[in-house]
Amino acid sequence: MLHTLRNITLALALAAGAVALAAAEDLTIDGLGTIPFGREVTVTDGGHTAINRFFIDSSHQKDYGKTANAAMWSVLTVPPGMQLYPEKPPYPYDSLHIYQLKKSKVKGLYTASLFVIRGTEEEFFHEGKKRNASFWKNAFREDAGRPTSLFGLPKIQLSEFQDLLDHVMEEKGGKGHVRIQAFEPWRAYKADDGTYHWAQEARIVMTNEKGLSFPMWIYSALFKEKDNYFLILTIGSHATAEEMEKVLLYGYYQLKRSEG
């Protein structure tokens, strides 16, 4: 748990250690398109920093996919059926690219880490069931069926999701605790251009084995463009969520898809 919090803290501090990174008002993700965030948000590219490499190397640790940390992040960030930490290659997290979102106001500075993971069906589903890959392959079409229950999760209550997370962490021998304060399960959203993406949101309080607590906002979004899936994770504080949530939602709604 402490290892996870250290990693997140490093990512949130990316701007402080990045000297020559480019800042922009929009975020262009190769192969997907451009997400407009407006002038009030600055985007810092941390894809070529030591922090980005550190996250990838951490996931390469032997049997990391079997740890409580991996299980926790899989529940909180990955759509049902996907394998973010498979036991054998190809590994989706090898494509990880980190950005930082920053919003300055008179009352304070708000930052969030944005993690982009790109992969094909083979990379995300090679250790999963074929029905999972089949569902996601067709889940982004205009005429696709959008069930009220996706592998049991969208109908789940907050208390049930908390029990699920507790069970997963206990089973993996996790230390510390994660308390879910708010949760919106995976569901499809229609963008301005008629395309669909899926998203899930959670606000949690993570307490490590030493009793120190940290409020966190986790917004996960899944896009598909041609043969590639794009899993975009945004992680920040509860205060950041209040300042950036609408900016993020509007940016996804106005996503300008890549041409060709």
Give the global pTM. Answer: 0.87
pLDDT at 16 over 50: no
pLDDT at 152 over 80: no
Q: Quote the mean pLDDT of the chain.
A: 85
pLDDT at 91 over 90: yes
- Report, as an integer, the average pLDDT of 125-146: 80
Structure tokens at 177: 């605790």
Summarize pLDDT for 172-199 with one digit per residue, the tens: 887 888 999 999 888 889 999 999 999 9
- Report, as an integer, the average pLDDT of 24-36: 90
Q: What percent of the chain has pLDDT over 70?
A: 85
User: Which is more confidently placed, 152 or 145?
Assistant: 145
| CA 196 from centre of chain | 17
- Report, as an integer, the average pLDDT of 122-126: 93
3-7, 40-44, 46-50, 165-169: least confident range:
3-7
Give the start-to-end residue ranges of the domains of the chain. Answer: 2-257
Question: What is the spatial distance between Cα 243 and Cα 252, in angstroms, rounded to a whole number?
Answer: 16
Summarize pLDDT for 92-104 with one digit per residue, the tens: 999 999 999 999 8
Question: What is the spatial distance between Cα 105 and Cα 108, in angstroms, rounded to a whole number?
Answer: 5
pLDDT at 132 over 90: no
Q: What residues have CB less than 8 Å from 82, skipping those under 6 apart?
A: 124, 125, 128, 132, 136, 231
- Report, as an integer, the average pLDDT of 59-80: 88
Q: Give the per-residue pLDDT at 218.
A: 97
pLDDT at 110 over 90: yes
Q: Give the per-residue pLDDT at 127.
A: 83
Amino acid of residue 160: E
Q: Give the per-residue pLDDT at 225.
A: 95
- Axis crossing angle, helix 2-12 with helix 50-59, rounded to the nearest 10: 160
Summarize pLDDT for 195-245 with one digit per residue, the tens: 999 999 999 999 888 888 999 999 999 999 999 999 999 999 999 999 999
Q: Give the per-residue pLDDT at 9.
A: 53
In DSSP terms, 107 is beta-bridged to none
- Report, as an integer, the average pLDDT of 235-260: 92
